Structure 1
Amino acid sequence: MRTTRRVVVVGGGMAAARLAQQLGGVPEAAVTVLGEEPHAPYNRVLLAEVLAGRYAPEVIALPRPAPGVAWRAGARVARIDRSAHRVVCEDGTEERYDTLVLATGSNPVLPPLHGLFGPGGAAAGVHAFRTLEDCLALGRAVREGTPAVVIGGGLLGVSAARALAARGARVVLAQQGEHLMERQLDAGAAALLRAHLVELGVEVHTECRVRGVRTSGPGGRVTGVDLADGFRLDADVVVLACGVRPRTGLAREAGLALGARGGVVVDDTLRTPQDPDVHALGDCAEHDGVLYGLAGAAQDQADALARVLSGEEGAGYAGTRALIRLTLPQYALPAHALPGAPQPAGAGPLDVAAFGQTTPHPGDDVVQLADATRGAYRKIVVRGDRLRGGILVGDLGSVGTLARAWEGDEALPATPLLHLLTHDGGY
């Protein structure tokens, strides 16, 4: 007699959607997804394109799960009762499970800025940029010429600044570090990215620490941002893009172990060591000491867990060799960009890719090409016959070959290393 296993997934993001899609055709699995957001699942990677006005929200919707999957939108989970194998929602409803999957994602980091919070919560005009609701709220708040400050110059901050500029906002990007996207890029690549943002009209400040947020009026609406050097930036909108941290409150309260990076500890079957019936994946999961926080890794984990739960022999997750790619399409310049100069047709497209260890160790080979005229920058780090990392900005025609060598940990071809960075062996 066939036994149906009840699989409950807490979280309605990309990882949950991928897992539900994979398990939808498994007759032995009855899948229920508890998604906190009221929206259908969507591609979070494309939120900046929605904010920029290039895509309507429905365009980034993910394929609907298989008919056998029960997807409960707007279902916020209050607690997990592991002893009774049940999940209790804030509305009082319960879901019983045989297998529980935590796909709770991550929360935006809220910096300890003076004036950021008042008695009623965050000051009016302060926005995170993590969910579709965040994106839609920002879109409603911005008009042509709206002064906006983006705090944080990582991947999320760069995407938000560029999208706001495309909507016509007057954008200032404040980055505390020495250059943009410090976790992925070196100074040379970051300089090209900065030039691209400046061409769009974004005012970029690096090594710039924000001290506080200024507000006025009974509602505490944002009027500006104070910098540590005493300078003040006018702002009607402030976007917090200071990073994310794994969302693990439910796991912690349920007695599950968290790792050194703050994620739910899982083994190679994405199972928690405290409870064989509980798994975790995506932004909230910490595997082998690594907290990825990347869509590609979350999808790899969802695929691996689907194989595990389907009973595939030897199925498991061995980690993801992540390649980060940021594609910045061509946008028309806002009317206020480059005042006094003839208006170009728009800021051209820019592609950025980064992977692995981009800071060489002693004995590593480094090949680097830079062409400011063409807006191109390429750098790879090689150890022996293996690619250890790389940064590519501009024309990414060579990214496919490099990505395959990196992701498969393959030996590099016996050709001069320069040829890996050019289409024809040289410029």
Structure 2
Amino acid sequence: MTSNARVVVIGAGLAGVRLARRLGELGVPALLVGEEEHPPYNRVLLAEVLAGRYAPEVIALPAPDGLVRARVTAIDRAARTVSCADGTRIGYGTLVLATGSNPVLPPLRGLFTEDHELPEGVHAFRTLDDCLGLAKAVRPGVRAVVIGGGLLGVSAARALAVRGPQVVLAQQAERLMERQLDPNASRLVHRHLTDLGVEVHTECRVRDVRSLGGAVRSVELADGYALDADLVVLACGVHPRTGLAEAAGLAVRKGVVVDDELRTSDPDIHALGDCAQHDGTVYGLAAPALEQADVLAELLAGDATARYTGTRSLTRLTLTGTAGTAGTADPTAPDSPFGPFDLAAFGETEARPGDDVVQLADATRGTYRKVVVRDDRLVGGVLVGELGTVGALARAWEGAEPLPLDDGPLLHLLTNDGGS
């Protein structure tokens, strides 16, 4: 069977859905192909589902009309068709790869069974199925080990903690979220997790996953210390899904290489989102993926001037949730450890020699704000605990305009909670 569409988009994540919807609004017919059984959803909010704050349907994305559930197995560039696992072939005029990324599975001894499957109790944390599997297994008293202390690991540990398990987070780096946060902000995140009862280990390398009868029983660290575990969550990062592109002979480095028009080495095939590498960068974040989708929609609709020139990424994470079975504390109380915990980071959060740094910290409230200024321009910042000023700061950073010479306006940006 062969069907035809002017534009075929492979991947029904945030980027693919955004592109298909924008194309529909611009009058361009598009067919969206997604392999997951669930309706398209916002992957950024999976931790909220795991925490019990949102039901799965709450994070669903408005699906475009042309949605096919199938797993694409090959691209035939000469015939301009894609083949699916069910035998279907789909013809395209323009093909867009929005295949996203896969979780990194670290090279640990014992991570896979003889059948090359993860042992019972070991979960990646990337898809809604991963999330639902974890939610089904989690309960008070369960011993959970989260491997990885980046953005994903912190989100997973926090979400698990409010559901009642005994949670241990093992981070190989010297501090949490070292790629996004400076040391002071990392310490506040560490304190927040500790207040929730999470046992945090940094500078800690996991070397072995031990199972019995096909089910995980413990995680062994490099120093020989063993952590008892009924659940293990792998939150070690992601890598672009480039298999289809490589097999089709497209240029691939870290991701599928694209130019400013998001074209691959084949002018009839574009790529965007987590799988794409633009100007040497694979962003792996929602905001750049959505921006790329908007630019590509304009291009495919006939705007010859549209270009993607890169994104100055803002990392924003709201760690929220309810107490669930974790305790009797009122989750809405301002000083409750189960209440919201917000953080945002943008640009360069670490100062270079000669940079000016403005910091405001409130140890009692657990809030921290810092901006880095270079040559009278805001080049980055980090906020923890309260994000009222993030909108104004992000706009000043994105505009890259010179700041006034005196500190008044900058301090106003840091302290004006109406800035968002």
TM value normalised by structure 2: 0.93
Deviations 1:161-220 (A, max 9, x none): 111111111110000001100100111111111111111111111111101101001xx1
Which of 241, 246, 253 is equivalent to 2:247?
253
- Kept after mapping to 2: 8 A contact 1:110/1:242: yes
Would you say 1:185 and 2:181 are equivalent positions? yes
Structure 1 partner of 2:223: 229
Write the letter of the residue equivalent to 1:192.
L
Q: Return 5+ residue gaps in structure 1 as ranges.
A: 339-343
Identical columns (%): 67
Counterparts in 2 of 1:164 and 1:396: CA distance versus 1, 3 Å: same
- RMSD (Å) for aligned C-alpha atoms: 1.7
Deviations 1:38-70 (A, max 9, x none): 1111111110010111111001001121x4xx2
Write the letter of the residue equivalent to 2:183.
A
Counterparts in 2 of 1:88 and 1:387: CA distance versus 1, 3 Å: same
- Kept after mapping to 2: 8 A contact 1:333/1:345: no
- Kept after mapping to 2: 8 A contact 1:332/1:345: no
Distance (whole Å) between structure 2 residues aligned to residue 374 and residue 31 of structure 1: 50
Shift of 1:374: 1.6
Counterparts in 2 of 1:200 and 1:333: CA distance versus 1, 3 Å: farther
Structure 2 partner of 1:45: 44
Distance (whole Å) between structure 2 residues aligned to residue 362 and residue 201 of structure 1: 38
Would you say 1:405 and 2:396 are equivalent positions? yes
Write the letter of the residue equivalent to 2:399.
G
Which of 209, 214, 236 is equivalent to 2:210?
214
Write the letter of the residue equivalent to 2:25.
G
Write the letter of the residue equivalent to 2:227.
L
Q: Return 5+ residue gaps in structure 2 as ranges.
A: 330-334
Shift of 1:118: 1.4
Write the letter of the residue equivalent to 1:145.
G
Structure 2 partner of 1:135: 131
Write the letter of the residue equivalent to 2:377.
R
Select between 411-420 and 32-41 the one with higher mean Cα deviation: 411-420
Distance (whole Å) between structure 1 residues aligned to residue 406 and residue 300 of structure 2: 44
Counterparts in 2 of 1:49 and 1:77: CA distance versus 1, 3 Å: same
Counterparts in 2 of 1:163 and 1:330: CA distance versus 1, 3 Å: closer
Would you say 1:382 and 2:373 are equivalent positions? yes
Select between 233-242 and 398-407 the one with higher mean Cα deviation: 398-407
Distance (whole Å) between structure 2 residues aligned to residue 51 and residue 330 of structure 1: 9
Structure 1 partner of 2:268: 277
Structure 2 partner of 1:113: 108
Shift of 1:412: 2.7
Aligned 1:292-311 pairs, distance under 5 A: 292-311=283-302
Distance (whole Å) between structure 1 residues aligned to residue 63 and residue 34 of structure 2: 14
Q: Secondary structure at the match of 2:29?
A: strand
Counterparts in 2 of 1:41 and 1:333: CA distance versus 1, 3 Å: closer
Aligned 1:17-416 pairs, distance under 5 A: 17-27=17-27, 29-65=28-64, 67=65, 70-73=66-69, 75-120=70-115, 121-217=117-213, 220-259=214-253, 262-272=254-264, 274-329=265-320, 331-332=322-323, 335=326, 346-416=337-407
TM value normalised by structure 1: 0.92
Q: Secondary structure at the match of 2:200?
A: strand
Distance (whole Å) between structure 2 residues aligned to residue 414 and residue 45 of structure 1: 39
Select between 392-401 and 235-244 the one with higher mean Cα deviation: 392-401
Distance (whole Å) between structure 1 residues aligned to residue 340 and residue 149 of structure 2: 19
- Kept after mapping to 1: 8 A contact 2:73/2:84: yes
Distance (whole Å) between structure 1 residues aligned to residue 33 and residue 49 of structure 2: 25
Shift of 1:420: 3.0
Structure 2 partner of 1:418: 411
- The total of aligned residue pairs comes to 406
Structure 1 partner of 2:332: none
Write the letter of the residue equivalent to 1:26.
L
Shift of 1:283: 0.1
Shift of 1:409: 2.4
Select between 344-353 and 144-153 the one with higher mean Cα deviation: 344-353
- Kept after mapping to 1: 8 A contact 2:5/2:31: no
Write the letter of the residue equivalent to 1:380.
V
Structure 2 partner of 1:341: none
Write the letter of the residue equivalent to 1:188.
N
Structure 2 partner of 1:12: 12
Shift of 1:24: 1.1
Distance (whole Å) between structure 2 residues aligned to residue 97 and residue 313 of structure 1: 21
